[in-house]
Chain A
Amino acid sequence: MAEPIENGENPLNIDGSNFNADMYLECIMKHTTLKQVMDKEAEIVTQSQFLQSEMQTLVYENYNKFISATETVRKMRSDFIIMQEEMNKLSENMNKITSFSAQISESLKESGSNVSRLCGTRQLLDKLQFLFLLPSQLNNAILEGRYVDAVHDYTHAQRVLQKYGNQPSFQSIQTECSEIIYGLKKSLRERLLNPETSASELAESVGLLRQLQETDSSLRDIFLNCAESRLDQHLQTLNSILESADIIEWVEKCNNTLLADLGIIVSCYHEMFQDEDTSNIPGFADKILFQVFHLFEEVSKRPENVGTDILIRGLDKFFRKLQAMKEIISSDTVSEKAVNVVVQCISNKATIQYQTIQTQFKESLMKVRQSLASKGSESSDLKDILNSLQVYLMQKVQASLLDLMAFLQNNLSFGLKPWCAKAVADSCWKVISETVINLSDMVKKMACLQSSNNNIPFELLLILAKLCLEMQETGVTTLHCHLIKLLEESAPGLVVENKDTNSVMVHLSTAAQSALDSEVVFIGQTAAQMLRVSVLARDWLRAPEPRGPRAVCRRVVETLASADSAASQLFPTSIKPSSDSSRRTIWSRAPSSFSPINRIFSERIEVFSPAGADRAALSNGALKVALKALVECVRLRTFGRHGLQQLQVDVHFLQQRLSCMGNDERLLNALLEDALSSAQLRCVDPQLMEPSIVDIICERG
């Protein structure tokens, strides 16, 4: 088929809506053969016939339907007419109902308004009654003390009264009320000023007054004034029981009265004046607390409260309360001060501790001194005394350290705070260092005193010097270690900065040195004095022939020996070089050898020089002082032959007896030689005795 496929537009499509019969014919005519046209014609004819018959069937069928539909429409029309009628009836009825209801509402309207007016009147009357009763109510309330109700009622009524205050009837009520309220205010103010009222009542009163629209600033001032006067009263009470109560009682009393009230006052103040500037409250609280702290300090210093236990308990309570107060007052100074109070207590305690240690040590020293003075050094064991003194001192210090550790107990409110631990550590170190420094000062003072008046036994000086040295060597470190151990136990984790032990050590060593120097000079001077007096008093010019060493030489030897033996008890004996040179006689030197040349080769002798801390050095020091004095005194005298020989004997005797002391024989010999050669120079007839005779005389004597 040549026809284009497309339907619709294609005018050649016979079934399409745009079918153009002419074009179709023409197309067929042009393109097809006759046969084909013939066929086409036949086909179309059959198709047309078919369509004709089909259309006829359809018409028949639909015709029936049309008839039934027409019938239905006719039926409906008749039904609608009935309905119309009923509808009309309904609308009629409705109209009737409307009119009736209008009528009813018309008739009810009047009584309703009456009822509502009655209600309003009733309310008004109630209010009026309240107003009229207000004065008496107020009075009643005030009489019964229900100030809160009274003020509540009044504040309610006040607005009305203010609004209608110009009406005569209300005016009287208002004035009456104002009077009552004025009275109330007055009584409230009186109550404020009355010292009997409690803090809560006070707060209540001020609250009420504030509701009654008192001006704030004056109220605040009054409030604070009243509060202050009341707190002052507490303070006075506390002050008065200062003498009688112990610290726990006092702290309880303080907590329950003063601090409790202060808390109430401060919190009330915040509540009431919260919107306003509250800057003066911390100042106020600080002022009060300052006095409290002051009182507390006094209490804590009272002698009956010295006991650590009681002090700590009191302090703990006080501190707890203060911690609580800190929340209320929210002032930094309070917490700061609370901390300060604790620290202060600790350091006070430490001060008391080391002062007691000092006085006790002094006492024990006095005892030692007396026993030494009465017994003398031979009978008393210096080592024992030293040990007992040292042990005593160490124990005292350790006990006081332990005592101070009580401040670090776990159950205490401040026990675990690092600042507290630090304060305790500092105080403990203070106890140690102060004790040591006191000891050194005391030793220095004694050494100084010794040289001016001689009533301190030299053994004591030796003991003290040794004590200082021992403390320097071991004591301070032991105590320091002990302290660190204690701190670790009580406050683990606390970092203690290392204390400067050096300055303390310096104190000790200088004290020891001055004590030793003083002892050496004392012994030396004692011997020197004996020699000086004996040399100066004697008439050497006309002296008799020597029969033995003079008595004073024995005494000098005894003095030096006793000092030496005392020193040997305390100070280590360095190994003495054993030599027989001590037997060397020293008068072999001719007087002509007395010349500077000899001295050039010998060392210069420092007489008053610092003494070393060992037995030989101490003895050397004393020997130097004594023998140099002998030399100088000999040079001031003039000797006869026998005088010179007497001195020769003396010198020999001294050499024999003193050579066992000290370790510097060269020094001893040099000084004795000097004495003898000086005497030779000062002799009018310088003839020495035979050494053998001198030996014999010395042994005989």
Chain B
Amino acid sequence: MEEGNSIIYGLEHQTRALSPQYGENDAIRFLIGTQSLKPESNQVHVVELEEDTGALHTKVFKHDIGEIWHLRCSPHDAATLLTTHNSYDPNTSQCTMGVSVFKLPTVEVIPKDLDDLSAIQGRNPENMELMTTIRPEAIGEKSKSQMALIGTSNSLPILREYPNRLMAEWDGEWPPGLMSVLLIQKSGEEIRCGEWHPTEASRIGVVYEGGVSVHDVTKGDVVATTATQARARQNLTGGKWNPHQGHTQFAVLQDMHIKCYDTRTDCTKPSWSIDNAHKQLARDLDFNPNRQFHLASAGDDAALNIWDYRNGREPIFSRTDHSHWVWTVRYNTYHEQLLLTGSSDARALLTAAASVCKDLDEEAAKISQALEDGVLQSYEQHEDSVYACEWSASEPWTFASLSYDARLYIFMIIINMMEYCSHLWDGSAKYLLDALDRLQQRAIRIIGDEVTKP
């Protein structure tokens, strides 16, 4: 495999948050959030890979509301994004977390003409202010006062433990519709992440230490909440909407288990669960985009497991290729056989799980045949823990991985995949060959490698 097909992008501060621009179908674009406790120093970087030249273009936006722990672009609008952030208030010496929705002024990153280009390149350092045109859409004093209101009134320990109960208790006095921005609430309560609803543009699910709530961004209502069972006292580490089952299920990672709640119910009981999905803490999960009962999970036991949650006792696929905790796992959106994992052993692994992805259409079957289960490629370029890696939303053979030491690598596995499939070309249908031909031409264009020219 060629190691050269990577493009590096460095940032100044530590980074954990990475998201592809889901709403974008043409450009390969990733958003990165920085994590720095220094006030007014956090940024959102929009990185676009110009496919034809292999050049990286970036735009930087200010994110003064705090360090970014988690970032998600809206699947409904390319310009909208959701950050989970944390800020330190030296006056109260408290940290406050929140989830905010932002709108980028423009999604365009690549300068239109040469003047622009030179202008940007020439004025890079101070240009930051100029370019950071983004502001949280509707953050206002109101929400801050609300925060204080909640912050002052929840001194009881039980309230600290079960924040969602708190919200429910406060339901009566809650000014309806006031929460136009979801600046959520009390100090000490940690927010793990915010996730866009797969179909409803205004709805998000927020995972706290101790529960999940679903919010309406436009109205600010709390649509549904769930708290972990009182006796369990096991904190949540993350969660995700189930893209199948009518988009009403939200799956959370609770300690070693995976639990899925139906947001239409009162959420006292999970609609399904996988107990002891990992031998240690479960860190991340991703649903198979094509198979409604399959999901992949990763955890502190360094394992990547694939489950059929109808029978959650044994994983249908399990690999332990990393040598430390696995922090993220992602299905390729087009080829469910390919999984990407990032780990604190400073590696990203591309793993094939062909054996559990059979009986699909002809093309997929061929790819499955060509692949063997196991690691296809280990990406060793990182020097620190890889907390996030994401497939591009527009280009199935491109992905980005982000390590804590603020290095983003964008990898293109296009050539390699062509090699995998090359023996299948014989006898393929014309439309397939055409598609492959286009891919190859594009690859040659991008890499500029004379050797691969036919």
Contact = CB atoms under 8 A, between A and B. Distances in A.
Interface of A: 451-452, 525, 536, 539, 541-542, 594-596, 599-600, 604-609, 628, 632, 635, 638, 640, 681-684
B344 A628 contact: yes
B383 A600 contact: yes
Given A541-B94, A682-B37, A607 B345 contact: yes
Contacts of B276: 452
A607 B279 contact: no
B302 A599 contact: no
Contacts of A599: 383-384, 405
Given A541-B94, A607-B345, A683-B37, A525 B324 contact: no
B355 interface: no
Contact of B323 (A525, A541, A609, A638): A609
B254 interface: no
Contacts of B88: 541, 638, 684
Contacts of B320: 608
Interface in B318-338: 320, 322-325
Contact of B14 (A536, A600, A605, A681): A681
A539 B157 CA distance: 14
B324 A607 contact: yes
Interface in B42-76: none
A596 B279 contact: no
Contact of B404 (A525, A541, A635): A635
Contact of B37 (A605, A608, A632, A684): A684
B184 interface: no
Contacts of B383: 596, 599-600
Given A525-B280, A632-B325, A638-B86, A604 B37 contact: no
B346 interface: yes
Nearest to B38: A684
A455 to B, nearest CB: 14
B279 A595 contact: no
Contacts of B305: none
Contacts of A635: 385, 404
13 contacts: A541-B95, A595-B405, A599-B405, A604-B380, A606-B323, A607-B344, A608-B302, A632-B325, A632-B385, A635-B404, A638-B88, A640-B93, A682-B37
B201 to A, nearest CB: 31
B454 interface: no
A339 B410 CA distance: 71
A541 B302 CA distance: 30
Interface in B363-408: 380, 383-385, 404-405, 407
B278 to A, nearest CB: 11
A210 B90 CA distance: 122
Contacts of B384: 596, 599
Given A596-B407, A607-B323, A628-B324, A684 B279 contact: no
A640 to B, nearest CB: 7
Given A599-B384, A632-B385, A608 B323 contact: yes
Contacts of B279: 451-452
Given A608-B324, A638-B95, 13 more contacts: A451-B279, A536-B235, A595-B405, A596-B407, A599-B383, A600-B383, A604-B345, A604-B346, A608-B320, A608-B323, A628-B324, A638-B86, A681-B37
Nearest to A628: B324
A638 B323 CA distance: 26
A444 B188 CA distance: 44
A682 B276 CA distance: 31
Given A595-B405, A682-B37, A606 B14 contact: no
Interface string B18-39: 0000000000000000000100
Given A607-B345, A638-B86, A684-B37, A596 B324 contact: no
B345 A684 contact: no
Interface of B: 14, 37, 86, 88, 90, 93-95, 188, 235, 276, 279-280, 301-302, 320, 322-325, 344-346, 380, 383-385, 404-405, 407
B206 to A, nearest CB: 18
Contact of B344 (A525, A632, A683): A632
B423 to A, nearest CB: 34
B39 to A, nearest CB: 9
A377 to B, nearest CB: 24
Contacts of B346: 604
A525 B345 CA distance: 16
Nearest to B345: A607
A595 B407 CA distance: 10
A452 B275 CA distance: 13
A599 B403 CA distance: 13
A525 B302 CA distance: 12
Nearest to B67: A638
B257 to A, nearest CB: 14
Nearest to A609: B323
A95 B276 CA distance: 147
Nearest to B301: A451
List 8 A-B pairs, minimum CB-CB distance, nearest first.
Answer: A599-B383, A596-B383, A607-B324, A606-B323, A608-B323, A684-B88, A596-B405, A607-B323
Contacts of B90: 684
Contacts of A451: 279, 301
A601 to B, nearest CB: 10
Contacts of B324: 607-608, 628, 632
Contacts of B94: 541
A373 to B, nearest CB: 21
A638 B37 contact: yes
B93 A542 contact: yes
Nearest to B39: A684
A525 B281 CA distance: 11
A623 to B, nearest CB: 14
A607 B90 CA distance: 37
Contacts of B385: 632, 635
A605 B37 CA distance: 27
A606 B321 CA distance: 11
A630 to B, nearest CB: 12
A595 B324 CA distance: 21
Nearest to B13: A681
A542 B88 CA distance: 12
A507 B380 CA distance: 32
B235 to A, nearest CB: 8
Contacts of A606: 323, 345
B17 to A, nearest CB: 14
A681 B14 CA distance: 9
Contacts of B404: 635
Contacts of B301: 451
A541 B324 CA distance: 28
A596 B90 CA distance: 30
A376 B302 CA distance: 30
Nearest to B281: A532
B192 to A, nearest CB: 11
Contacts of A608: 302, 320, 322-324
A355 B385 CA distance: 49
A414 to B, nearest CB: 50
A684 to B, nearest CB: 5
A682 to B, nearest CB: 7
A525 B404 CA distance: 23
A539 B407 CA distance: 30
B234 to A, nearest CB: 11
Contacts of A681: 14, 37
Contacts of A682: 37
A576 B348 CA distance: 35
Contacts of A609: 323
Nearest to B343: A607
A631 B320 CA distance: 21
Chain A CB count within 10 A is highest, among B276, B324, B380, for B324
A541 B88 CA distance: 10
B44 to A, nearest CB: 20
A605 B14 CA distance: 20
A628 B88 CA distance: 26
Contacts of B407: 596
